[in-house]
């Protein structure tokens, strides 16, 4: 089976032009599947049946794999066996009728406005690093962009005067406004700090680390965790928590869902509607706790 997996990986890399992360994910999943079939003496790929594949899925369920992990493995098997079928290696596709388990969508982790305020007030501006950190945190909450989009921003993507940024990540450009607090923090960073942190005048990335190189995802995660601890926030927040909080707070204060969808870059407004549901549930909870005849 190893040769078939190698061929599939090469197909993903050179024909499908898949990302490195996608390819690594497929390789991990197929490596586990290969170990399973070899352990159960089912190594003849041409004789593989849907029953064999379902027994593998059943094994994962019995071992309490997460539903999302099982779903991803099913998607991997479907892609792999579809490739083998199109290559003429197998006459029938045993993975064609595999069905992914239903995944229950959990409500996203949202910080209260008080918690957000506490978090954003942690960098006190006593050093270049803290001024940079303040700018990054304010901008992330002010715009709801992803951490990957934040660390990819170039200086030219930000219009301080008009208070908006241009986000080019993904397939289409988004223009997102930001408020006065983020504007003030950005102006201070650009005026007093960034030039002192970069090591090359040719560096175009907006936010750099203490070595003058572009900030990494892991680097920003450490920054966020540091200030969350200082703020006494007990929930295990991630950069995406600020994105969720941005959207939920906008909707809670009457923002149009379509506008929030555009700012977040969601292709379908149904994805954005979860924030309206959160707001609705929060209002019901407040009513139940405070109305004298609830």
User: What is the per-residue pLDDT across 233-261, written as a single tens digit (0 to 9) for each?
Assistant: 988 899 999 999 999 899 888 888 888 88
Range(s) for CATH 1.10.443.10 in the chain? 113-290
Tell me if 272 sits within 8 A of 261, measured CB to CB.
yes
The residue-averaged pLDDT of 80-107 equals 84
Three-state DSSP class for residue 202:
coil
Question: Percentage of residues in the chain with pLDDT exceeding 70?
Answer: 91
| Radius of gyration of the CA atoms of the chain, in A | 24
Residues 6+ apart with CB under 8 A from 34: 1, 2, 5
Quickly name the fold that domain 113-290 has: hpI Integrase; Chain A (1.10.443)
pLDDT per residue as tens digits for the range 9-25: 999 999 988 888 889 99
Q: Give pTM, 2 decimals.
A: 0.63
- Retrieve residue 30's tokens: 């197929």
The residue-averaged pLDDT of 63-92 equals 91
Range(s) for CATH 1.10.150 in the chain? 2-86
The pLDDT, as a whole number, for residue 42 is 83
CATH of 2-86, one of 1.10.10, 1.10.530, 1.10.150, 2.60.40: 1.10.150
Tell me if 239 sits within 8 A of 140, measured CB to CB.
yes
Query: E strands along the chain, which residues?
Result: 158-159, 164-167, 174-177
CA separation for the pair 33, 94 (Å, rounded): 14
pLDDT per residue as tens digits for the range 167-190: 986 557 899 999 999 999 999 999
CA separation for the pair 95, 12 (Å, rounded): 18
pLDDT per residue as tens digits for the range 272-291: 887 877 766 665 665 566 65
């Amino acid at each position: 089976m190893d040769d078939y997996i190698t061929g599939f990986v090469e197909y993903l890399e050179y024909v499908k032009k898949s990302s490195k992360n996608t390819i690594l994910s497929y390789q991990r999943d197929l490596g586990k599947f290969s170990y399973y079939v070899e352990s159960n003496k089912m190594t003849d790929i041409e004789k593989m049946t849907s029953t064999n594949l379902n027994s593998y899925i059943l094994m994962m369920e019995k071992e309490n794999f997460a539903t999302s992990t099982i779903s991803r493995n099913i998607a991997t098997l479907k892609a792999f066996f579809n490739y083998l079928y199109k290559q003429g290696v197998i006459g029938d596709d045993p993975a064609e009728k595999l069905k992914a388990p239903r995944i229950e969508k959990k409500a996203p982790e949202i910080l209260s406005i008080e918690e957000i305020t506490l978090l954003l007030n942690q960098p006190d501006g006593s050093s270049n690093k803290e001024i940079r950190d303040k700018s990054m945190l304010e901008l992330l909450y002010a715009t709801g962009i992803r951490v990957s989009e934040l660390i990819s921003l170039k200086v030219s993507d930000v219009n301080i005067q008009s208070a908006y940024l241009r986000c080019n990540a993904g397939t289409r450009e988004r223009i997102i406004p930001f408020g006065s607090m983020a504007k003030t923090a950005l102006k201070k960073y650009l005026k007093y700090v960034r030039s002192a942190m970069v090591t090359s005048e040719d560096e175009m990335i907006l936010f750099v680390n203490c070595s003058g190189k572009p900030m990494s995802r892991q680097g920003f995660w450490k920054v966020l965790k540091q200030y969350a601890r200082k703020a006494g926030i007990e929930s295990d927040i991630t950069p995406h928590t600020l994105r969720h909080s941005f959207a939920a707070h906008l909707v809670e204060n009457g923002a149009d869902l379509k506008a929030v969808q555009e700012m977040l870059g969601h292709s379908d407004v149904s994805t954005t509607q979860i924030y309206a549901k959160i707001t609705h549930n929060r209002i019901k909870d407040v009513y139940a706790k405070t109305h004298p005849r609830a």
